[in-house]
Amino acid sequence: MKLKLAMLFFVIQLTVKAQVINNLVVFCNEGERFTLILNGIQENQNPETNVRVVGLDLKVYQVKVIFENKKIKDHNSTITFFRTGKECVFALNKKGKKKHTLDYVSEKEIDGFLASQKSNEIDANQNTQTQQAVTLAPTSTLTTNNASYIPTETTATSTFQNKLDSIAAQPTEATKLSMAISMLKNNSFSISQIKQLLGSFSSEQTKVAFSKQVLTQVKNPNTYKEIINIFMSDSVKTELQKYIDLKK
């Protein structure tokens, strides 16, 4: 009985965790252009005064803001989402001559989130009762940020989160990379999910190694650009572009 209760609690925890999804909007009150980086992943290709990121499914994000104006100091802070299904707005406000703070402004419900959440809860309850594995429905194309990635099957949010947790639990970068590559061979992920997988690694070298594995499975030129532009370093971008050129 205790074992069953423990398993039920574990399933409920995974369900709750999988349902955490929020959008983030960051803007600069002074109109300064900036690049937004979340957990080491660059979110906008070119500096902008307003950046919107959708589908964030972690509770805590390390935030770095790099201003186009080099006279302004970079901003580093942490954002924590205490709720789910929200689009949260934060403002970069000037503090002193060169510094900025990142301040909460407002939030609103993500359109259609509540209906989707209720549907997911019903599906989760049915799966718990029948104790059957979820079969992922095949699809032809996943489109994210105007770039198409051709999958063999879509990776459901809860399934993907479990995979992400498994990688994070690995003790070394080498084992994380090995597990991520193994997952890549047996699944297909959207650009947004690729960014999250890259965020699991600590070293730039490991991120580049994993990105090369992703690029071997990509045929759409727009997707090449999406993956390359995740990185800030020009030398890394050049390295990945050379890798693509050799692969063609």
**Among residues 69, 71, 48, 56, which one has the least CA distance to residue 23?**
56
Q: What pLDDT score was predicted for residue 131?
A: 40
> In the chain, where does DSSP find H-type helix?
2-18, 113-130, 157-168, 173-186, 191-198, 204-215, 221-228, 234-247
CB within 8 Å of 171: residues ≥ 6 apart: none
* SS3 label, residue 195: helix
**Among residues 179, 180, 199, 188, which one has the least CA distance to residue 223?**
188
Q: What pLDDT score was predicted for residue 112?
A: 58
Q: What pLDDT score was predicted for residue 173?
A: 82
Distances (CA, A) of 32 to 17, 27, 67, 100: 35, 9, 7, 11
For residue 131, what are the β-bridge partners? none
Q: What pLDDT score was predicted for residue 113?
A: 55
Q: What pLDDT score was predicted for residue 239?
A: 87
pLDDT tens for each residue of the chain, 248 residues long = 545 544 544 444 444 444 578 889 999 988 999 999 999 998 888 999 999 988 888 888 999 999 999 999 999 999 988 888 888 999 999 988 889 999 988 888 876 554 444 444 444 454 444 343 333 333 323 333 333 333 333 445 668 888 888 888 888 888 888 888 888 877 777 888 888 888 888 888 888 888 888 888 777 777 788 888 888 788 888 888 888 887 66
Half-sphere exposure of 7 (CA within 13 A, CB side): 7
Q: Do the Cβ atoms of 94 and 68 come closer than 8 Å? A: no
Distances (CA, A) of 37 to 5, 47, 74, 234: 40, 11, 11, 16
Q: What pLDDT score was predicted for residue 32?
A: 92
**Among residues 150, 156, 100, which one has the least CA distance to residue 133?**
156
Distances (CA, A) of 83 to 3, 19, 55, 157, 162: 30, 10, 14, 17, 20
